[in-house]
Chains A and B, each alone.
Chain A
Amino acid sequence: MTTSREVFLVDGTRTPFLKVRGKRGPFTPVDLAVQCGRPLLARQPFGADAFDMVILGCVNVIADEMNPARVAALRLGMGDQMVAFTVQINCGSGMQSLDTAFRTIREGSADMILAGGAEALSHAPLVLSDDAVDWLSGMQTATGPFATAQSALQVRPRHLKPVVGLERGLTDPITDLGMGQTAELVAHHFGITRTMADTYAVESHLRLATAQKDGTLAEELMPAFDRDGTVYREDDGVRPDSSVEKLGSLKPVFEKPYGQVTAGNASQVTDGASWCILASAEAVERHKLTPIARLVDSEWAALDPSVMGLGPVMSATPLLSRHGFGNTDIDLWEINEAFAAQVLGCLAAWQDERFCRDVLGLEGSFGPIPRDKLNIHGGAIALGHPVGTSGNRIVLHLANALKSTGGKRGVATECIGGGQGGAMILEAA
C-alpha cells in the first residue's frame, strides 16, 4: 500500500567531467562525490545531517571504497548515523539512485534524500587473468622457501599481461558484443548513416561549448581541486572546433573497416560525479526550500542486450502512455548520448510507424523529437559518460533546463548496457 506524496528536486551539482587520458585521474569515485557534494551541502539552509539517507550510483567501485555512498556520506560530514547505500544498474546507476530516492519519499518513508552518481573510469582496475590469479594463490599458499621458489618458477609471460577492466566492462557478457557494436546494430536497423551520426556529434560539442561560455552551467557545475593545486573548471573533452569534416576523417573503432561508430561520434570515457537533493513537500516547507522541479514518475524497461541502445524508446514510451502524454506534451528531452547512432536510432524508431505499432503498441508513429528540444546544451558525446553518473546528470540538467527555458515538462532517459532503459518525467516546480 503506497501513499503518493509529491517529490521535488530542490538542488543539485556536478563536477566537471574529466576525460580519461591514458592514466589514472586525480580523483577516486568518492573523491569526486566529495568535491561535488561539499558546495551543494554548503549552500543549503539546513545541516548536512538533515538528510534521511544517501544513495549513490557507482559501477566501478574501487577496492578502497566499498559502498562508496557511505564513505562519501561520512567524508561529507553527514554524521555517523547517515544511512547510505550504493546502487548499480550499469549505465543507469545515477538515475537508479534518484528513482529509489523518489519512490522512498513518495511512499512516505523519508523526507529528504541525497541521491547521486560517481564514477572514475580512469581508476577502473587492471584485472589479472584467471591463470595469473591461480599462480598467485599458489605462491601465497606455498610453505617454506623451496615450495615458494618452485611455485615462483611457474610464472609465464602471459600471466603478467593484465586485462583492462574497463574494456571488459564495456562488453556485453551475454552476447560478447562491444557496446559500440550494439550501436552499429541499431544504426543498421534504422538506417543511420555515418554522416548523420557525425553531424549529430558536432552539434553536441557546439551546444556544450556555448553553454560553458554563456554561464548556463554556473549553478550546476562546481570546480574540482586536486592535491597538486590544479583547478578543474570545465568539462575538458569538449571540442568547440569540431566539424563534420574533422570527424569524417576518424576510423571506426568497433567494426573495422565499414562500421559507423567512431571515437568522435561516441560518448567520451570520463570521470565525474553528480548529486541531487530530493525532498517531500513537508521538507520543502520545513527548510523553506525552492524546488527546481517535481519528479512525476519513472520507468525501467528491458530488451535484447544486442540492441540495448533502444532502451530510451522502450522505457520512456510506456511511461508517457501511462500518463496520457504524447509527443507534444514534452517540452524538453535529455537522452543520454552513449552513441550518436544510438540516439538517432531511437528518434528514428519513434517515427517508424510499424515499430511504434508492433513493438510499442501505439496506434501510430510517436512522432519526431525536434533537435531544438533534445539535449539543448549538449550531451555525453561532448562532455563524456561516467557511467554511474550520467543518469543523475541528465535529470539534474533537465530540471535546470526546464527552469531556464520556461518549459513545463521534460523527459530524461538513457540506454543501459546489458539491455535496459530508464526514463523519468519531470515538471517545472
Chain B
Amino acid sequence: MDTRLKDYLNAATLELGGAADALGDGHWRYAVDDDQIGWLVLNCTDASVNTISDKVLRELDAHLGQIEAEPPRALILRSAKPAGFAAGADIHGLADMDADTAEQLLTDAHAVLNRLQGLSCPTIAVVHGAALGAGFEIALACGYRIAIDGASFGLPEVQLGLHPGLGGTMRLPQLIDPLQAMQMMLTGKTAHTSRAKDLGIADLVVEERHLRAAIHAVVKGEVDQQARGLMGKAFGLSAARSLAAEKMRREVQKKAPKDHYPAPYALIDIWAEHGDAPRAMQKAEIASFARLLQSETSKNLIRAFKLRQKLKQGGKAHCDIARVHVVGAGVMGAEIAAWVAMQGKQVSVTDPDEGALGRMIRRATEICKDAHKDGLATRDTLDRLMPDPKGYGVRNADLVIEAGPENPEVKATIFADLGRQMKTGAILATNTSSLQLEGLTAHVPAKTRFAGLHFFNPVSKVPLVEVVSHGSTSAATRTRLMAFCNAINRLPVAVADAPGFLVNRALMPYLLEALLMLDEGIPKERIDKAALEFGMPMGPVTLADQVGLDICLDVAESLNQSLDTPIADIPSLLREKVEAGNLGRKTGRGFYDWTDGTPAPSSSVAIPADLTDRLILPMLNACAECLRKGVVGSVEDLDAAMIFATGFAPFRGGPMHYAAARGFGTVRARLAELEAAHGARFAPDPYWAEHA
C-alpha cells in the first residue's frame, strides 16, 4: 500500500506543453500549445541524462530555423529527463579533437546560441535538477530562467582544466555581478536554487505545479529581471577589471599554480582584456578553449573524470543493503557510520565505550553541518544513526562493518560473537588497513560473505573505498559491496588481499621515504613543499600526521613483515612520536602542531628534482608491483584509486599515467640511480622492463 501510493504520486510528470508527444526524431521535440507558447524539449536519445553534443546543437539549430519562420508567443526550453536539465558538454567527443577542428566546431556552436538569443519572441529556460556547463550556457542564451525548486546551476569546466566554451565566459558576467560570475567559473562551484535566485541567475523559483502560471506571468511582462547594478557598470572599465583580475590571479595561485592549471589564468585574461566587448570576448573564449583542450592538464583531468565514471560503473548493480551495523566507534568507525547514515541507510553502532558512541553522534552532527544539511536532514541522519551498546542491530543488519582495534585476536573474538547473531545472507566486512584478510577468516561466520571494505580518513572527504576480496570471497559478495559503495556515494575499487592492499601499499614507501628524510635532517617543510609542488594535495609529513602516526606505524610494520620486496626501515622518529603519544592530528600534535588547524608548511628553498623523485618514484614502483601481482585489475583502476584516495596530482592523470608520460624506461633508469645512491628499496620492479 505504502509503495503503491508513492509509485502513483511519483509518476507525476513534468510539464512539457505537449512536446513530449510531438512527432519527430532526434534529441529535441517541439510543440505549440493552445496558448501559442512553443515548447522545445530536450530528451537525448539512449541516455538518462542530457549532454550537449555537436548533434544536439545542430538539431537545435534546425528547430530554431522553424521557430524563426513561425514565432510563438514565447519559447520554452526545458529537459524532458527527470534527472535534470543537462549535465554539460559531451566530453567524450571533445577530448580527442585537434585545435582547428575544435575551433570550427565551437564557432558553429556559438552561432546556434547567438541565434537562440536573437529570437524575436521571449525565450524562457525552465530548469529542474542540474544545469551544468554547456547546459547552463544554453540557459544563459535565453531571455529568462525559471528554476524549479531544487535546480542548480554551475560552470565546472575549470575542474577539467578548461573554462566555459559555449559563451559562458561572456554571458554570465553580463547577467550577474561580474565578480560573482568569475568566482563561479574559477571555482567551478554550483549555485543551488536560492543562491541562484540571489545571484540573479534565476528570475523566478517555483514548484513544478506552478510552472504554467509562472510562464504566463513572464509572458505578460509581470516578472522584473534583476538589474546588474553598479558593480556591472564599474567593471565596464578596463582599469577596474585589470585591478580585480590581479587580485583573482593571486587568489588562484594559492590553490592552483599556473604551471599545473593554466585554465583559470586564461579565463581571467579573457575577462580582463575583453570584459566590455562581448563579440571580442566570444572570439577569445573560443580560441582559448580550443588551446586549453590540447593541454596535458586538461587531457589528464578529463581522464580523471572518466576514471571516476568507470569506478561508478563498477558499482552499478542494485544495492540490496539497507541496514548496516558497525562494530567500533573509534575515529574510522564513527566516520563510516555517520557517513552511511547521512546517505540514507539505517545504521547501528556498538562500542564497549559508550563515550565513544557519544563522540560519534557529535562527529555526525559536524559532518552534516559540513555537508550543508538543513535541520530536517540532520535530524533524520541522527535518527538513522543509533548508538547500540548492546548490539541489538546485528541481527537485522544486511552488512556488518568491523572497525575494531587492529589486533587479530580482538577481531577473532568480535567475529565469533557476530557469527552467532548475524542473519543468513548478511555480509561481514572488515575495515582493517594493516591486516590481511586471509589470516582473519578462521572465525568469520561465512568465508564467501567476508570481505574488506577499506575506507579512508576522513570518510566524508575521501571518496575512494577499497573492496577487498580474499581467496574465498564470492563474486556476489564483491558485487553487493561495490553497489553499496555506489549507493552511499563513495567510489569502489576492487582489490586483492595483498599486504596494504593497493593504496597503503603504494603510499607507504612514499611516506616512509619522507620520514627517513626527516631522520636525515631534511626539514619537514622542504619535504612537504616538494610534494606540494609536484601536485599532491598535502605533503607526506602532513599526511602522516593526518592519517595518524600509530596507524602509519602499524601499516609500515605489517608491510615490513609481509612484503617480499624491500621497503624502507621504519624511521626512528616515527617510533619515538608514537611512543610519546603524539599521534598527529587526532592528538593535536605529531610532526606538526595541529592545535590551530591544518599546518601550512612553506619553504623558501628551491626543491631539487632529485628530492621529488626520491619521494614519488618509490610510490610509482609500488604501483608497478601491484599491477604485476594483480592486486588491482587495471592501470585505470590503479590511477583512479590513487587519485581518489590520496589526491595524487589529478592533472598528471594518475601515477601510472605519469610514469608513462615520463617513459617507463626513464622511470626504471632513475630508480636504478636511486638504488645505487640509497639502497635496495629503490630496486626497479620487473614490471617496468616487461612493459617498456
Residues of B within 8 A of A39 (CB): 386, 388, 390, 392
Q: Which residue of B lies closest to A45 (CB)?
A: B395
Known: A38-B386, A77-B346, A81-B1. A225 touches B357 (CB 8 A): yes
Minimal Cβ-Cβ distance residue in A for B5: A80
Q: Are B365 and A227 in contact (CB under 8 A)?
A: yes
With a CB–CB cut-off of 8 A, which chain A residues contact B387? 223, 225, 231
Contact B362 A227 (CB under 8 A): yes
The residues of A that contact B390 with a CB separation of less than 8 Å are 39, 43
Could you give 23 example pairs across A and B, Cβ below 8 Å? Answer: A34-B383, A39-B386, A39-B392, A42-B392, A75-B380, A75-B383, A76-B383, A77-B383, A77-B384, A80-B2, A80-B5, A81-B1, A223-B354, A225-B358, A226-B361, A229-B358, A229-B359, A229-B361, A229-B363, A230-B358, A231-B355, A231-B387, A233-B354
Instruction: Please determine whether B354 and A79 come into contact, CB atoms closer than 8 angstroms.
Output: no
Q: How far does the alpha carbon of A76 sit from the alpha carbon of B383 in the complex, in Å? A: 7
Interface string of A14-48 (1 = CB under 8 A from B): 00000000000000000000100011001101000
Are B361's CB and A225's CB within 8 A?
yes
Q: Interface size (A, Cβ < 8 Å)?
A: 21
- Tell me, in angstroms, the Cα distance from A77 to B359 when the chains sit together: 24
Shortest C-beta distance, A68 to chain B (Å), equals: 14
- In chain B between 333 and 369, which residues have their CB closer than 8 angstroms to a CB of chain A? 346, 348, 354-355, 357-363, 365
Instruction: List chain B residues, Cβ under 8 A from A230.
Output: 358
A228 within 8 A of B: yes
Asked if residues B354 and A229 are in contact (CB atoms below 8 Å), the reply is: no
Over the window 469-496 of chain B, the binary record of Cβ atoms lying under 8 Å from chain A Cβ atoms (1 yes, 0 no) is: 0000000000000000000000000000
- Report the minimal beta-carbon distance from A355 to chain B, rounded to whole angstroms: 47
Cα(A45)–Cα(B361), bound, Å:
26
When distances are taken between beta carbons in the complex, the residues of chain A under 8 Å from B361 are 225-227, 229
Give the number of residues in B that approach A within 8 Å (Cβ atoms).
30
Q: For the complex formed, measure the closest distance between the CB of B350 and the CB atoms of chain A, giving whole angstroms.
A: 11
Q: Is residue B396 contacting chain A, with contact meaning CB distance below 8 A?
A: yes
Who on chain B is nearest to A38 by CB? B386
Give residues 44-90 of A contacting B (CB, 8 Å). Answer: 45, 75-77, 79-81
Residues in B neighbouring A43, C-beta threshold 8 A: 390, 392
Structural contact, A227 and B382, CB atoms closer than 8 A:
yes
CB nearest neighbor in A for B365: A227
Q: What residues of A have a CB within 8 angstroms of the CB of B354 in the complex?
A: 223, 231, 233
8 Å CB interface, B1-34 against A? 1-2, 5-6
Binary interface profile of B, 392-410, with partner A (CB < 8 Å = 1, else 0)? 1101100000000000000
What sequence of 0s and 1s flags, for each residue 239-272 of chain A, a beta carbon within 8 Å of any chain B beta carbon? 0000000000000000000000000000000000
> What is the 8 Å Cβ interface bit string for chain B, positions 160-204, against chain A (1 contact, 0 not)?
000000000000000000000000000000000000000000000
> Which of B2, B360, B379, B392 meets A81, CB within 8 Å?
B2
Q: Mark A181-199, 1 if CB is under 8 A from B, else 0.
A: 0000000000000000000
Q: A43-B392, A227-B361, A231-B357 are in contact. List 4 more A-B contacts (CB 8 A).
A: A39-B392, A42-B388, A223-B354, A223-B389
How would residues 443 to 475 of chain B score, 1 for a CB under 8 Å from any chain A CB and 0 otherwise?
A: 000000000000000000000000000000000
Number of A-B contacts defined by CB within 8 Å: 56
The reply to whether B382 and A79 form a contact with Cβ atoms under 8 Å apart is: no
From residue B356, how far is it (CB to closest CB) to chain A in Å? 9
Task: Determine if A42 and B362 form an interchain contact, defined as CB atoms under 8 angstroms apart.
Answer: no
Given the known interface contacts A34-B383, A81-B1, A223-B387, the answer about A42 and B348 at a Cβ–Cβ threshold of 8 Å is yes
Shortest Cβ gap from A48 to chain B (Å) = 9
Q: Most chain-B CB neighbours within 10 Å: which of A34, A43, A77, A231? A: A231
Contact status A42-B386, CB under 8 Å: yes
Which residues of chain B in 389-435 are interfacial with respect to chain A, using CB atoms and an 8 Å cutoff? Answer: 389-390, 392-393, 395-396
Q: What is the chain B residue whose CB lies nearest that of A76?
A: B383
Complex Cα distance, B358 from A184, in Å, reads 43
Bound Cα distance A229, B355 (Å) = 8
Please indicate the chain A residues that have their CB under 8 angstroms from the CB of B357 in the complex.
225, 231
Q: Which residues of B contact A75 (CB under 8 A)?
A: 379-380, 383
User: Within 8 Å CB of A227, what residues of B?
Assistant: 361-362, 365, 382
Q: Which residue of chain B has its CB nearest to the CB of A224?
A: B387
Rounded to whole angstroms, the CA-CA distance of A42 and B390 in the bound complex is: 10
Q: Which residues of B contact A34 (CB under 8 A)?
A: 383
Considering only CB atoms, which chain B residue lies closest to A229 in the complex? B362
Q: Which residue of A lies closest to B395 (CB)?
A: A45
When distances are taken between beta carbons in the complex, the residues of chain B under 8 Å from A76 are 383
Give residues of chain A (270-313) contacting chain B, Cβ–Cβ below 8 Å.
none
Q: Which residues of B contact A42 (CB under 8 A)?
A: 348, 386, 388, 392-393, 396
**Contact pick for A228, options B355, B362, B380, B388, CB 8 Å:** B362
- Kindly name the residue among A39, A225, A230 whose own CB sees the greatest number of chain B CB atoms within 10 A: A225
- The answer for the CA separation of A39 and B395 in the assembled complex, in Å, is 12
Q: What chain A residues lie within 8 Å of B392 (beta carbons)?
A: 39, 42-43
Interchain CA distance A223-B360 in the complex, whole Å: 14
B358 contacts A231, CB within 8 Å? yes
Closest Cβ of chain A: how far from B671's Cβ, in Å? 48
Listed from nearest, the 10 A-B pairs whose CB atoms lie closest are A229-B362, A42-B392, A43-B392, A229-B358, A231-B358, A227-B365, A38-B386, A225-B361, A229-B359, A231-B354
Q: Once the chains are docked, how many angstroms separate the CA of A42 from the CA of B359?
A: 21
A229 → chain B closest CB, angstroms: 3
For B379, the closest partner residue in chain A by CB is A75
- Interchain CA distance A80-B361 in the complex, whole Å: 26
Q: Which residue of B lies closest to A47 (CB)?
A: B396
Give bound CA distance, A231 to B353, whole Å: 11
In the complex, A160 Cα to B396 Cα: how many Å? 53
> In the assembled complex, how far is the CB of residue B335 from the closest CB belonging to chain A, in whole angstroms?
14
| Cα-based distance from A238 to B611 in the complex (angstroms) | 65
Residues of A close to B360: CB separation below 8 A: 229
Residue of A nearest to B363 (CB): A229
A413-B560 Cα distance, complex, nearest whole Å: 69
C-alpha spacing A154/B558, complex, angstroms: 77
A65: shortest Cβ distance to chain B, in Å?
A: 12
Closest residue of chain B to A42, judged by CB? B392
**CB closest residue in chain B, given A223:** B354
Q: Which residues of B contact A225 (CB under 8 A)?
A: 357-358, 361, 387
Collect the chain A residues with CB atoms within 8 Å of residue B389's CB: 223
Q: How far is the CA of A228 from the CA of B1 in the complex (A)?
A: 39
Give the complex CA separation of A403 and B343 in angstroms.
42
In the bound assembly, the distance between CA atoms of A229 and B357 in angstroms comes to 8
Tell me the minimal C-beta distance from B224 to chain A in angstroms: 24
Q: How far is the CA of A211 from the CA of B393 in the complex (A)?
A: 26
Q: How far is the CA of A356 from the CA of B519 in the complex (A)?
A: 90
Please give the distance in Å from A256's CB to the nearest CB on chain B: 42
Closest residue of B by beta carbon distance from A41: B392
Residue in A closest to B348 when the chains form the complex, CB atoms: A42
Closest Cβ–Cβ distance, residue A363 to chain B (whole Å): 50
Q: Within 8 Å CB of B395, what residues of A?
A: 45
Interface centre among A43, A45, A76 (most CB of B within 10 A): A43
Considering the chains assembled together, what is the distance between the CA atoms of A158 and B2 in angstroms? 52
Chain A hits for B5, CB < 8 A:
80
User: Closest CB of chain A to B25's CB: distance in Å?
Assistant: 42
Bound state CA distance, A34 and B361, in angstroms?
14
Min CB distance A7 to B, Å, is 25
Chain B positions within 8 Å of A223 at CB level: 354, 387, 389
A233–B355 Cα distance when bound, in Å, is 10
The minimal Cβ–Cβ distance linking B135 to chain A, given in whole angstroms, is 35
Q: Mark A377-417, 1 if CB is under 8 A from B, else 0.
A: 00000000000000000000000000000000000000000
Q: Which A residues are CB-close (under 8 A) to B346?
A: 77
Chain B residue nearest to A80 (CB atoms) is B2
**Minimum CB–CB distance for A165 against chain B, Å:** 24
Contacts of B362 in A (CB 8 A): 227-229
Residue with the greatest number of chain A CB neighbours at <10 A, chosen from B362, B383, B384: B383
Nearest residue (CB) in A for B362 is A229
Q: A81 contacts which chain B residues (CB < 8 A)?
A: 1-2
Which residue of chain B is the closest to A43 with respect to CB atoms?
A: B392
State A225–B383 Cα separation when bound (angstroms).
Answer: 11
Nearest-Cβ distance from residue B16 to partner chain A, whole angstroms: 29
